A and B are shown apart, each in its own frame.
Chain A
Amino acid sequence: AQSVAQPEDQVNVAEGNPLTVKCTYSVSGNPYLFWYVQYPNRGLQFLLKYITGDNLVKGSYGFEAEFNKSQTSFHLKKPSALVSDSALYFCALLNKFYFGSGTKLNVKP
């Protein structure tokens, strides 16, 4: 079965600390993995993607993600969180049109 899982409904982190938002996937064939961010009452904004190439991908607003084929993971990371990063984050397997359930990131000052 093909799917995307975000095991944490919510992640809390203090401003300035590193953050990780987890994503695992299951797919037959090569995955096209994306991260999107959604602010309240807004659409989905693209952050970064992995289709092929380097396993470490860098995206918007200082975010990065590492594609790990052996662990079937694509965790989103940022070295130093900002309060303005607080939002809902979605991992997506777009070649199969699957989105994860979303992780709410709370960054406290």
Chain B
Amino acid sequence: EPEVTQTPSHQVTQMGQEVILRCVPISNHLYFYWYRQILGQKVEFLVSFYNNEISEKSEIFDDQFSVERPDGSNFTLKIRSTKLEDSAMYFCASTEVSTDTQYFGPGTRLTVL
């Protein structure tokens, strides 16, 4: 069964450093999403991406965040200058059509020191 994959599973970085989180969505899916979950808290929407552009974003997704689909398979989330409060689990999701089930990857745990 096809699944969303994410790398790395755990990323440790120093405050102020740039990180890139990578996702490989399910191959025939067209809509891609990033969410984050701070430890013990709810899942929060960051951004949705379709047709090579951002379709929606939340207030959390400020100028330090960016997303890219650099090739036909990867979908990345870049955080330019990490802050302590960026420490969280970051989930990628994808779906074939915008109204259908979003399938989530296993997540990347980002720890900012």
Contact = CB atoms under 8 A, between A and B. Distances in A.
Interface of A: 32, 34, 36, 42-46, 49, 51, 90, 92, 94-95, 97-102
* Band of interface residues on B: 20 to 34
Interface of B: 4, 33, 35, 41-45, 48, 56, 58, 91, 93, 99, 101-107
A102 B42 contact: yes
A74 to B, nearest CB: 15
A34 B48 contact: no
Contact of A99 (B42, B103, B105, B106): B42
B48 A97 contact: yes
Contacts of B58: 97
What are the 5 A-B residue pairs with the smallest beta carbon separation, nearest first? Answer: A97-B45, A99-B43, A44-B104, A43-B106, A43-B104
A90 B106 contact: no
A32 B99 contact: yes
